[in-house]
Amino acid sequence: MIQLVKFKAEHVRDLIPLSAVNALCGHLRDDQLAALEKSDHSFTGMVDGKVIGCAGVIRYWEGRGEAWAIFDPSIGRRLYCEIRNIARRLFDVMPYRRIEAVIVADFAPGRRFAESLGFRLEAPCLKGYFPEGQDAALYART
């Protein structure tokens, strides 16, 4: 069973070396991680004391935020389903009328995950969006 705790920067650092899927984490600066820590809507999922993922929503302004998530790529189907169910419940009680998610365009698991959470594709290709030049897809849940 997943235990949710308040997000801390060191939690993401535990995930960074796990996979190339999380390569984007290497571009997170300390001030960005500090902002995630201050957010009321940033969480870490743990199983038996081990970080399995970090996620949340960053507020842009009243009613609008952006979802973010970084997971251990070795989590199994059972944990994936549990994470999805927790995320759905959290989104339903968060104070946002619009939550966006930007996903590496050719990362099919990320796109499927967003869709399973009720996000809909709004922009299929934001050219060169990410630090290493990957294209992105913009999803939104309203």
CA torsion sign for 47, 32, 141, 130 is negative
Residues 115, 126: Cα–Cα separation, whole Å: 18
The domain tally of the chain equals 1
Domain with residue 110: its CATH number is 3.40.630.30
Domain housing 122: 3-141
Inter-residue contact 126 to 137 (CB < 8 Å): yes
| pLDDT tens profile 63-101 | 999 998 888 878 878 888 888 888 998 888 899 999 999
| pLDDT tens profile 42-70 | 999 999 988 988 889 999 999 999 998 88
pTM here is 0.84
